Amino acid sequence: DAKTTQPTSMDCAEGRAANLPCNHSTISGNEYVYWYRQIHSQGPQYIIHGLKNNETNEMASLIITEDRKSSTLILPHATLRDTAVYYCIVSGKTSYDKVIFGPGTSLSVIP
Amino acid sequence: GAVVSQHPSRVICKSGTSVKIECRSLDFQATTMFWYRQFPKQSLMLMATSNEGSKATYEQGVEKDKFLINHASLTLSTLTVTSAHPEDSSFYICSARDEGDRGTVENTEAFFGQGTRLTVV
């Protein structure tokens, strides 16, 4: 079973920041928080990951609480192409660690 | 960046026939690959872990004789849906992580294929 809980769906106005929350209260010390997204009928796409520090890349920012029990993915300026299902996943970091998907959050960016 | 490629992207087959789906890591080695199935409006469900040079390990409830997995090289895993039936129609996706030269690269993201849409008629 997935170790994360996310809201089922969210809306965001185009050009505004999209903040997607995730709870992972049972995360273990060696597990990372990964975010992926899936646009309809495509394979999932990696967005960002982190262990305990906040992270930023060209796509998004990841804010992880100090106790690591929750995190927030931030898309700073949402566009219509960001409409997708966003998955928050906790996983080990090696090549043989499974990536288990929960239901994710369906984000709709509205013009 | 690392790329995982699946083939075919779309296939239609008759009930009772078998279909093979290929998953390739294009520019990295992968001793471990993962196969997922996704039904409409649902999330990805992990089916099995493909292990190069050894047997695949299947998740609970997935029939190993129905979904044959072969991982013959460090860059190729295949999933064969045997005796396909309409209920096997689904979106099949594979993934892998770049292991690097020493066999295990720390702190890597998973790369996913573009998926294979199987329709059994």
> Do B43 and A103 lie within an 8 Å CB cutoff?
yes
Work out the minimum CA distance from A49 to partner chain B, whole angstroms. 8
pLDDT tens for each residue of B66-101: 999 999 899 999 999 999 999 999 999 999 988 766
Burial of residue A47 (number of CB atoms within 10 Å: 0-12, 13-18, 19+): buried
Query: In chain B, which residues have their Cβ closer than 8 Å to the Cβ of A104?
Result: 43
Choose among A93, A101, A103: nearest Cβ to B107.
A93
- Kindly provide the b/e burial profile for residues B60-93, where b requires at least 16 CB atoms within 10 angstroms of the residue's own CB: eebeeeebbbbbeeebbbbbebeebeeebbbbbb
Q: Is the peptide bond before A111 cis (omega within 30 degrees of 0)?
A: no
pLDDT score of B19 more than 90 = yes
- pLDDT band at B1; cut points 50, 70, 90: low
CB contact A86 to B (< 8 Å): no
The number of beta carbons lying within 10 Å of the beta carbon of residue B111 is: 23
Which of B63, B108, B98, B99 has the alpha carbon at shortest distance from B84? B63
CB contact B7 to A (< 8 Å): no
> Do A95 and B32 lie within an 8 Å CB cutoff?
yes
Instruction: Give residue B116's pLDDT.
Output: 97
Query: In chain B, which residues have their Cβ closer than 8 Å to the Cβ of A34?
Result: 109-110
> Mind listing the pLDDT tens digit of every residue in chain A (111 residues)?
679 999 999 999 999 999 999 999 999 998 999 999 999 889 999 999 999 989 999 999 999 999 999 999 999 999 999 999 999 999 988 888 999 999 999 999 999
Query: Which residues are within 8 A (CB) of B12 and not within 5 positions of it... i.e. 6 or more apart?
Result: B119, B120, B121
Instruction: Give residue B78's pLDDT.
Output: 97
Work out the minimum CA distance from B17 to partner chain A, whole angstroms. 24
Work out the minimum CA distance from B95 to partner chain A, whole angstroms. 9
Q: List the single residue in A with minimal CA-CA distance to B93.
A: A43
A-contacting residues in B 42-61 (Cβ below 8 Å): 43-46, 49
CB contact A8 to B (< 8 Å): no
The alpha carbons of chain A give a radius of gyration, in whole angstroms, of 13
Instruction: Give residue B105's pLDDT.
Output: 54
> Do A98 and B34 lie within an 8 Å CB cutoff?
yes
Instruction: Give residue B99's pLDDT.
Output: 72
Query: In chain A, which residues have their Cβ closer than 8 Å to the Cβ of B58?
Result: none
